[in-house]
């Protein structure tokens, strides 16, 4: 850990002496301030910085992270980055300045968020990533990640089985600028593309949005009335696609697959109307991150860099375990 901190600083000094010395002074000043400010007697403050609150899944992640931190006896506050790395950067600056002691972090961007974590690291505030990863091994204290790619490999296997390796299908992508979209699509295609009998007749984006998915699916059904299956990059889109199929009277003929484990899709799997989804565990990730922060405050410094939280396949065979 100590090595990890000094290496980039020395590198900076070599590359730009004056600027780095200034930076070092500011950095030491800040570090002194923050350790002086947060005396051991006071309640520690935990910040939950979340990529967006405009999606129920992330609301669950943010709120359970904050709740877990409170249950462990800390103050907790949620910051919304509105899917914007610049807003995220402001959030980090503000929370570092106002003396937060740890950050439970859901990054907006795998590369763009690294610089924000480095700011916190410079101020000796530990960062625990949740759900989404950043492409750096020496930035966050630990990353507790949902494995979107492997989760969708599982979905792909189930997909091939359900279709017996033959048929026409449609893929609804999420936001095309979001790395989860491509991790999920990539995992799915790594399996499905091995089967030449499976033909993708349309691949369109529906922005992870239920209404958009319904509209796009309605239109696709005009061009491709004889499809056998739909794979959707999240459950909101799976619900929208299902509603479009239902409206066209094709809900029984077309197999729908989602991803996330949203309550309404679980219900539809129970009724036999949607085939499968990948259950992600936002609450498990949030709890693990909060517990890690707790252990950090109690002196633990060695954490695994990546903690994968498995995505579980939910289908008709095991859906009863997930219904409340």
| Shortest distance, position 280 Cβ to another protein, whole Å | 16
Site for another protein in 103-132 (CB under 8 A): none
Residue 54 interacting with another protein (CB under 8 A):
yes
What Å distances lie between residue 49 and 44, 61, 72, 130, CA to CA? 16, 10, 18, 10
Task: Kindly state the number of chain residues that form the binding site for another protein, as judged by CB under 8 A.
Answer: 30
In Å, how far from its chain's centre is CA 109? Answer: 10
Residue 216 interacting with another protein (CB under 8 A):
yes
d(CA 141, CA 305): 7
Q: Which span (30-38, 112-120, 142-150, 211-219) binds another protein, by CB under 8 A?
A: 211-219
In Å, how far from its chain's centre is CA 99? Answer: 26
d(CA 303, CA 94): 26
Residue 220 interacting with another protein (CB under 8 A):
yes
In Å, how far from its chain's centre is CA 235? Answer: 14
From candidates 138, 264, 291, 315, binder to another protein by CB under 8 A? 264
Residue 319 interacting with another protein (CB under 8 A):
no
CB neighbours of residue 75 within 10 Å: 15
Secondary structure of residue 54 in the 3-state scheme: coil
d(CA 152, CA 150): 5
From candidates 9, 13, 31, 53, binder to another protein by CB under 8 A? 53
Query: Is 166:198 a contact under the CB 8 Å cutoff?
Result: yes
From candidates 66, 117, 173, 290, binder to another protein by CB under 8 A? 173
Residue 78 interacting with another protein (CB under 8 A):
no
Residue 223 interacting with another protein (CB under 8 A):
yes
Q: Which span (32-40, 128-136, 216-224, 310-318) binds another protein, by CB under 8 A?
A: 216-224
From candidates 44, 121, 132, 210, binder to another protein by CB under 8 A? 210
Identify any residues that bridge with 46 across adjacent strands, giving them in sequence order: 76, 102
From candidates 67, 93, 124, 215, binder to another protein by CB under 8 A? 215
Residue 160 interacting with another protein (CB under 8 A):
no
| Shortest distance, position 36 Cβ to another protein, whole Å | 36
From candidates 204, 270, 283, 307, binder to another protein by CB under 8 A? 204
Residue 240 interacting with another protein (CB under 8 A):
yes
CB neighbours of residue 21 within 10 Å: 12
Q: Please list the alpha-helical segments (H only) found in 252-307.
A: 263-270, 282-297
In Å, how far from its chain's centre is CA 208? Answer: 13
Q: Which span (25-33, 138-146, 205-213, 314-322) binds another protein, by CB under 8 A?
A: 205-213
Residue 203 interacting with another protein (CB under 8 A):
yes
d(CA 121, CA 65): 20
Q: Which has the closest alpha carbon to 238: 285, 323, 171?
A: 171
**Interface residues toward another protein, by CB under 8 A:** 53-56, 59-60, 173, 176, 201-205, 209-211, 214-216, 218-220, 222-223, 236, 239-240, 243, 247, 264
């Amino acid at each position: 850990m100590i090595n990890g901190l000094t290496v980039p600083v020395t590198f900076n000094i070599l590359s730009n002496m004056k600027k780095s010395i200034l930076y070092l002074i500011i950095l030491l000043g800040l570090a002194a301030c923050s350790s002086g400010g947060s005396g051991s007697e006071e309640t520690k403050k935990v910040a939950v910085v979340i990529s967006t609150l405009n999606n129920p899944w992330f609301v669950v992640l943010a709120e359970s992270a904050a709740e877990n931190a409170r249950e462990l006896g800390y103050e907790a506050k949620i910051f919304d980055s509105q899917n914007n790395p610049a807003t995220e950067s402001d959030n980090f600056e503000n929370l570092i300045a106002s003396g937060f002691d740890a950050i439970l972090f859901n990054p907006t961007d795998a590369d763009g968020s690294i610089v924000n974590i480095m700011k916190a690291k410079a101020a000796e505030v530990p960062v625990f990533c949740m759900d989404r990863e950043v492409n750096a091994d020496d930035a966050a204290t630990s990353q507790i990640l949902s494995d979107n790619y492997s989760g969708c490999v599982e979905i792909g296997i189930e997909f091939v089985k359900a279709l017996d390796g033959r048929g026409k299908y449609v893929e609804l992508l999420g936001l095309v600028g979001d790395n989860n979209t491509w991790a999920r699509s990539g995992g799915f295609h790594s399996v499905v593309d091995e089967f030449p009998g499976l033909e993708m007749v349309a691949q369109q984006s529906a922005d992870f949005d239920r209404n958009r998915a319904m509209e796009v699916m309605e239109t696709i059904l005009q061009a491709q009335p004889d499809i056998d299956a739909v794979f959707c990059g999240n459950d909101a889109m799976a619900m929208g696609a299902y509603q479009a199929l239902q409206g066209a009277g094709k809900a029984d003929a077309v197999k729908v697959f989602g991803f996330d484990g949203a309550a309404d899709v679980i219900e539809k799997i129970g009724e036999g109307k949607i085939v499968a989804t990948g259950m992600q565990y936002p609450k498990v990730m949030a709890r693990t991150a909060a517990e890690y922060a707790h252990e950090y405050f109690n002196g633990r410094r060695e954490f695994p860099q990546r903690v994968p939280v498995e995505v579980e396949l939910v289908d008709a065979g095991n859906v009863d375990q997930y219904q409340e």
